[in-house]
Structure 1
Amino acid sequence: MSIVALAFLAKFVATFVAAIINKMSVRDSLAFGLVMNTKGLLAIIILNSGRDLHVLDHNTFSVMMLAILIMTAAVGPILALIYKSNVPSKQHTHRSIRSIQANSDNVSSVINLLEISNPTKQSPMFVFAVHLVELSGHASAMLIVHDTCSNIRKTSKITAKNQKHSSPSDQIVAAFEKLETESEESSLFVDALTVVSSYASMHEDICNLADDKSADLIIIPFHKQSTIDGGMDNGNPSFRGINKNLLENSSCSVAIFVDRGLTDSSNIKNEDGHGCCRCAMLFISGSDDREALAYAWRMASNPNPKPNISLTVVRFIVSKDAAVHSDLPPNNPNNNDHDHDEDEKKNILEMIEENEKEKQLDDQYIESFVLNARNQPSIKLIHEVLNNGEETLKLISAMGNDYDLYIVGIGQTGSSPLTFGLSEWGDCPELGPLGDALASSNIVASASILIVHQGRAVGKSLFS
């Protein structure tokens, strides 16, 4: 065993030290050192040749074969133990849209969304465009990094005649690299990648990639697509599972994009003919709504005299006469009446306390937003006092198709009387009460929707 230990530690220590010197994390350095100790078929062939040539005797051959077996077999379990924890590493925490400082088939619609997200030289955007491909014909998942320089030369030559014969990945790479080359002042940078994985583990690959790249936001298309009559098709349940898993497991913010024609150029023109996307942000309460407002503010904070975004923030305020409702399931009916009453009172008090904390944070955030947007006429804030979810839907219906893009937060079901009952309008509760109602109904049939969820980590305010 001493020979096995010496053979293992020699390469492990050398690789680990080299990785640390090159500024790799301790965990990744450990993994790198372990992987370097794996042996394959070539090592066995060399040992067999040495034995056949009588360079190695039977005892030496047996010891070295045992060392190869033990070293290779131990790597897998140790790696699984190292990466077992789902807790994001320190360097990947506190990542959200609000943590970004001022200096620091859905392809066309997503590209258009990125174009109106206001990348500037002072606040550039680094986009990792990931083409997700279902695992088929491969034994394990793959990550393909497309060479940007060579692809710009190669994909720029794709004409309308031969573009239909190119692979989907080539078309996606070409589209995003065209976006990068057309970006003004080198404010938007794109890296194109392809992830080949099974649907069951695809969200893990996305989360790991987001952690490796220290991404602040993941934008993923809705699993349903709009139809000609303005409705939505049945969608792909596998895609829906990926979206749900991302919402539950991502350490950074996630936005689900419901595309209903944002790619149509007629949807982003104002009455004067200038490019201008009319955007409405619906603000109720909570961290998801604050994160959604952060994204809307980034889109609209353009110093140009003719900005390409007009933003209307509609803040819904609960009236004093509003009744307290909850969509949450009732307590266990097996409890006796006294315990049931006590638990109900406790839940109500906890809900009131939590709502008060959120309201204070909301007020502070709205004040910061108003202070920073005071000199921009393309941004306005409207306060609407409402009593219940029915009035919320009526107000949004009255807004109708006045806007090209609605931005909302997922929020929590039953956390506000203004969303009570909205779950009856939709069939995707993972989108939150308001997002589900907008995506599953024809209230805003021709407007696209961006539904934002803040990740597990809470970042600093965008306005701090």
Structure 2
Amino acid sequence: MMFRTGKKAWTIALCSLLVPICIGLSICYYFLDYLKDKVGEFDGAKLPVVVVGHSGCSFPVMASLLSDLEILNSELGRLALSAGLVMDVLNSIGSGLGTTIVSSLRTDSSDHDPNKGPALAIFSFLMFVGFLLLAIGTRPAMRWFVRKTPEGRPVNKTYTHLVMLMAFCLGLIGMFARQSVLAGVLVVGLVVPEGPPLGSELIKQLELFATWFLLPIFVTCCAMKVDISRHIDTNLILVMLVIIVSVHLVKMLITIGICRYCKMPKTDGLCLALMLSCKGVVDFCTLGFLHDSLLLSHDQLVIMALSVLVLGSIAGIGVKAIYDPSRKYAGYQKRNILNLKPNSELKVVACVHKPSHIGSIRNALEICCPTSSNPLLVHVLHLIELVGRSSPIFISHRLQERVSSGHFNFSEDVIVTFDLFEHDYAGTASVSTYTAVSPSRFMHDDICYLALDKLASIIILPFHVKWTEDGSIDSTDDNIRTLNSKVLGKAPCSVGILVSRGSSTSSYDTPTSHIAMIFLGGSDDREALCLAQRTIKECSNNLKVYHLVSSNNNEQTNNWDLMLDNEVLKGVKGYYGHVENVTYEKVAIEDPSETTAFISEIANQHDFIIVGRRNGIKSSQTAALESWTEFPELGVIGDLLASSDTNTKASILVVQQQQQMPKS
């Protein structure tokens, strides 16, 4: 993982770690003589521990901070995780090696061990290297456990017990290499293969008991070693404050400077610097181990513990106040279907969560009618929930093939299906496939970022309800529903929610031909109508547009929305010439009950129905139905079509036009 992070992360990590260490050590040795004169009994060799402890950062603490702030999947969050991982690993190896050698060489007035010296230091160094190699050597055994587990089945509990036994044994072996018992457990945790079946099973068995029971007790025991009521020499406090402030100030300036050199915004550079300076539970507990190992005096322990509290609070509050990841998704530029130039390429981001979504998404793309004059560029994103690892991953399978990397084996069915789709529409459709592995509450960032990066005009999301063949509800997924709502609120382009009421299997040889569009008016309906018009260009599809108007409509004829509606409807009314496969029908509606009856009547007459979400728009045709809406993300008409009371096998696409930000 370290060597796949990229040059920017390595540059930030190395400079933000090594430069503060060098400057901090220089300050330490400058103050050594001063402290000997001002402080009674003082061991100057303990000051470098303060420098090294504050120069680095803890990857678990940073991952927890980013998760709490809900920016784990943001572009800045990914860069922070990459740089933090490199910095933490290098700092841990350097600190562990340094602790091993120093503890073997050091002698003081209370330690008369004749065995200490260069020979013991070399032996301890070899023990440390052997400890690391032995810990890494447990990974092949774990990979064997994964291979012996049938696909889709939970891992055998015997294997999980063996992994726990390995962790305890490595913890004891680490003590012989002059490391804390947690060092071996940590390394074993790092080499566990992430995700199911092994990583997720260990999370399932250990997280509740370890995180919510053992961890608070452990932190409390570490906190009991800190006695803040004890008198601390003012000179020591002053010197340690100078060292801590200097180290973090240099780290922040270095990080901001590198970010500016990489042409990143100033606020992003400041936020990244705060993230790399964050301290938390891991750092606090490490102080307890350093104190037990006599590498920190009690006075230093108190000052360091308080600094962890202050720095952790500043980092969390500062990043939350400065960084808003949703701002970059703001729709200042028009990225929708309505504003596309004639015969221009339609760029789509299509999302897949489960195998049942693959066929319905492919059918929806076929409806878009890719032709030489109506090309289609699709970015298919397979979303997988992150389990058993801390850092999310984003894979471009086209780039993966280019670098001949077979390390990941995700999304095989998705890749094969849409490669065939590209082959079937060669020259008219281009498909790129991606896999995003992240926590479900952050998946909207992956979707929005991909749509923003690829200049997409519309995002297609699968609905959270799955129906059986007889029309009853088979299953629901609240995580998908929450995700859809977040994307609707933050998307940098238009959004379509695809409701598949028919079979989940796709009939590729017989594409859908009878398409309906229900038009009431408003920006969402105009966007839906523009998409519907693309479905009949040079294709055999038949489109029927139902224009629902109120029989007692009192709207003024100069209403701007009404003028825009009429202009868009001209394309299907025959103003520019008769089109054989398009039918326009105007339907007068007197009250909402007629709307319900009309929807029920036409629902089963078509294979595919396109409607606008019409979020926030009031009309007499649907006003009384809004309080009965079960799925607000579908709008009133979409909710009626998706209702179990409506008999239909048609797929329904509910379209919301890009939410434009007001120009200030």
TM-score normalised by the chain length of structure 1: 0.69
**Aligned-pair CA distance for 1:433:** 1.1
Of the three residues 373, 381, 386, the one matched with 1:135 is 386
Deviations 1:307-347 (A, max 9, x none): 14221111111112x6x9xxxxxxxxxxxxxxxxxxxxxxx
Does residue 422 of the first structure (1) align with residue 625 of the second (2)?
yes
8 Å contact from structure 2 (residues 252, 273) kept in 1: no
Partner residue in 2 for 1:55: none
2:577 to 368, 374, 379: 374
Moved more, 397-406 or 30-39: 30-39
Partner of residue 452, structure 2:
211
Residues 1:316 and 2:557 are matched in the alignment: no
**In structure 2, how many angstroms separate the alpha carbons of the residues matched to 1:421 and 1:144?**
45
2:268, 2:371 → 1: CA distance?
Answer: 33
- Structure 2 residue 354 is the aligned partner of structure 1 residue 101: no
Pick aligned residue for 1:175 from 405, 408, 417: 417
Distance apart, 1:454 and its partner CA = 1.9
Letter in 2 for 1:280: A
C-alpha distance 354-169 of structure 1, shift in aligned 2 (>3 A): farther
Q: Secondary structure at the match of 1:106?
A: helix
The letter of the residue matching 2:480 is: F
Secondary structure of the residue that 1:97 maps to in structure 2? coil
Cα distance in 1, alignment partners of residues 486 and 331 from structure 2: 22
CA contact (8 A) 1:262 1:448 kept: no
Corresponding position of 1:280: 516
CA contact (8 A) 1:262 1:447 kept: no
Cα distance between partner residues in 1 of 2:315 and 2:627: 51
Which residue matches 2:502? 261
> 1:317 touches 1:385 (CA, 8 Å); kept in 2?
yes
**Structure number with larger C-alpha Rg:** 2
Cα distance between partner residues in 2 of 1:377 and 1:123? 19
Bigger relative contact order, structure 1 or 2, given CA contacts below 8 A and separation 6+?
1
Q: Please state if 1:250 is matched with 2:503.
A: no
* Equivalent of 1:296 in 532, 535, 543: 532
Per the alignment, residue 365 of structure 1 pairs with 568
TM-superposition CA deviations, 1:47-98 (whole Å, max 9, x none): xxxxxxxxxxxxxxxxxxxx99999997766554443264346786432222
Structure 2 residue 481 is matched with structure 1 residue 240: yes
| Amino acid paired to 1:457 | Q
SS at structure 2 position matched to 1:184: coil
Distance in 1, Cα, partners of 2:248 & 2:586: 69
Q: Are residues 1:231 and 2:472 paired?
A: yes
Spell out the pairing of 1:145-160 with structure 2 (5 A cutoff): 145-148=395-398, 151=401
Name the SS for the 2:535 alignment partner: helix
The CA RMSD over aligned residues, in Å, is 4.7
Q: Quick one: distance in 2 between partners of 1:179 and 1:295?
A: 20
Distance 1:7 1:293, change over 3 A: same
Which AA in structure 2 matches 1:135?
Answer: L
Contact 1:116 1:308 (C-alpha < 8 Å) held by counterparts: no
Aligned to 1:44: none
Deviation readout 1:207-244 (Å, 9 max, x if unpaired): 34433443322211111111121233351222222222
Is the CA contact 2:332–2:661 (under 8 Å) kept in the aligned structure 1? no
- C-alpha displacement of 1:438: 0.7
The alpha-carbon distance between structure 1 residues 319 and 189, as it changes in their structure 2 partners (threshold 3 A), is same
Q: Distance in 1 between matches of 2:496 and 2:314?
A: 40
Residue-by-residue CA offset, 1:362-381 (whole Å, 9 max, x unaligned) = 12222255468635321222
Whether the aligned pair in 2 keeps the contact of 1:92 and 1:211 (CA below 8 Å) is: no
Q: What is the SS of the residue equivalent to 2:485?
A: helix
Q: Distance in 1 between matches of 2:392 and 2:374?
A: 32
Q: How many residue pairs were aligned?
A: 400
* Superimposed CA distance per residue, residues 16-47 of structure 1 (whole angstroms, 9 cap, x where no aligned partner): 35423xxx6776677678878999x9xxxxxx
CA distance in 2, matches of 1:132, 1:233: 21
SS in 1 for 2:639: helix
| Cα distance in 2 between the residues matched to 1:70 and 1:278 | 64
- The Cα shift of 1:359 comes to 2.0
In 1: Cα distance, 2:331 partner to 2:520 partner = 31
Partner of 1:125: 376
1:439: how far off?
Answer: 0.2
Instruction: For 1:169, give the aligned amino acid.
Output: S
Deviates more, 1:211-220 or 1:105-114: 211-220
Change (3 A) 1:68 1:216: farther
Q: Determine the C-alpha separation between the residues in 1 that align with 2:571 and 2:266.
A: 39
User: How far apart, in 2, do the equivalents of 1:425 and 1:277 lie?
Assistant: 32
- Deviation per CA, 1:344-369: give whole Å up to 9, x if none: xxxxxxxx689944322212222255
SS of 1:98's equivalent in the other structure is: coil
**Secondary structure of 2:586 counterpart:** strand
Structure 2 distance, partners of 1:247, 1:208, is: 14
List per-residue Cα deviations over 1:222-275 (Å, max 9, x = no partner). Answer: 111111212333512222222223223334222111112376666984xxxxx5
SS of 1:132's partner is: strand
- Unpaired segments ≥5 residues, structure 1: 42-66, 156-165, 270-274, 325-351, 460-464
Task: Between 234-243 and 446-455, report the one with greater CA deviation.
Answer: 234-243
What does residue 20 of structure 2 align with?
Answer: none
Q: Which residue of structure 1 aligns with residue 429 of structure 2?
A: 187
Letter in 1 for 2:541: I
Q: Does 1:456 align with 2:659?
A: yes
Seq. identity, %: 29
Which residue of 2 is the match for residue 64 of structure 1?
Answer: none
- Counterparts in 2 of 1:5 and 1:401: CA distance versus 1, 3 Å: closer
Moved more, 6-15 or 427-436: 6-15
Q: 1:416 to 1:267 in 2, by over 3 A?
A: farther
| 2:611–2:654 contact (8 Å) kept in structure 1 | yes
CA positional deviation for 1:15? 2.7
1:110 deviates by 0.1
Q: How does 1:46-65 map to 2 (within 5 A)?
A: none
Q: State which drifts further: 7-16 or 104-113.
A: 7-16
Q: Deviations over 1:190-220 (max 9, x none)?
A: 232223213x333344334433443322211
Structure with greater proportional helix content: 2
Residue 317 (structure 2) pairs with residue 83 (structure 1): no
| Whole-angstrom distance in 2 between the partners of 1:428 and 1:294 | 24
For residue 446 of structure 1, what is the aligned residue in structure 2?
Answer: 649
After superposition, where does 1:345-360 map in structure 2 within 5 Å? Answer: 356-360=559-563
What letter corresponds to residue 522 of structure 2 in structure 1? Answer: G
1:214 is paired with a residue whose SS is coil
Q: Tell me if the contact between 1:254 and 1:452 (Cα under 8 Å) persists in the aligned partners.
A: yes
The aligned counterpart of 1:222 is 463
Match of 1:411 in 2: 614
- Contact kept, 8 Å, 1:419 with 1:433, in 2: the verdict is yes
Judge conservation of contact 1:16–1:33 (CA < 8 Å) in 2.
Answer: no
Alpha carbons 1:285, 1:359 under 8 Å: kept: yes
Q: Is the 8 A contact 2:330 2:490 kept in 1?
A: no
1:62 corresponds in structure 2 to none
Amino acid at match of 2:622: T
